[in-house]
């Protein structure tokens, strides 16, 4: 993976494959390069990484993740005890 620049000057993530081309005698004549823009894939990977990091921190602080986002599964006494720590 590399970071490339468009003609307009914008940066984008790209995956590049370079293949050698040979003639009938086996001599190397030139190379063909294929560049694929993977900027959106990298954004999704970064977002997934951030979500996993948040889950790991949440599990360390609260034990296990809640069944539904925004709802606490534990009893209120445990929650009050944890709030005292902060």
Q: Residue 1: what pLDDT?
A: 85
| 44-69 average pLDDT score | 83
pTM above 0.95, yes or no: no
Report percent pLDDT > 90 for the chain. 59
**Structural domain tally of the chain?**
2
pLDDT value at 63 more than 50: yes
Note whether 17 and 33 are within 8 A (CB). yes
Domain that holds residue 31: 1-37
Residue 63 zone, left/alpha/beta (φ > 0; ψ -120 to 50; rest)? left
pLDDT value at 4 more than 60: yes
Is residue 64 located within the same domain as residue 83?
A: yes
Is residue 52 located within the same domain as residue 32?
A: no
Is residue 50 located within the same domain as residue 14?
A: no
Is residue 44 located within the same domain as residue 86?
A: yes
User: pLDDT confidence of 41, banded at 50, 70, 90?
Assistant: very high
Is residue 4 located within the same domain as residue 27?
A: yes
Is residue 77 located within the same domain as residue 48?
A: yes
């Amino acid at each position: 993976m590399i970071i490339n620049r468009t003609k307009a000057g914008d940066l984008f993530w790209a995956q590049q494959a370079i293949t050698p081309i040979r003639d009938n005698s086996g001599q190397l004549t030139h190379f063909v390069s294929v560049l694929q823009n993977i900027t959106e894939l990298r954004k999704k990977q970064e977002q997934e990484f951030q979500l996993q990091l948040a889950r790991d921190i949440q599990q360390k602080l609260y034990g296990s993740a809640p069944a539904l986002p925004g709802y606490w599964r534990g009893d209120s006494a445990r929650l009050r005890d944890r709030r005292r720590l902060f």
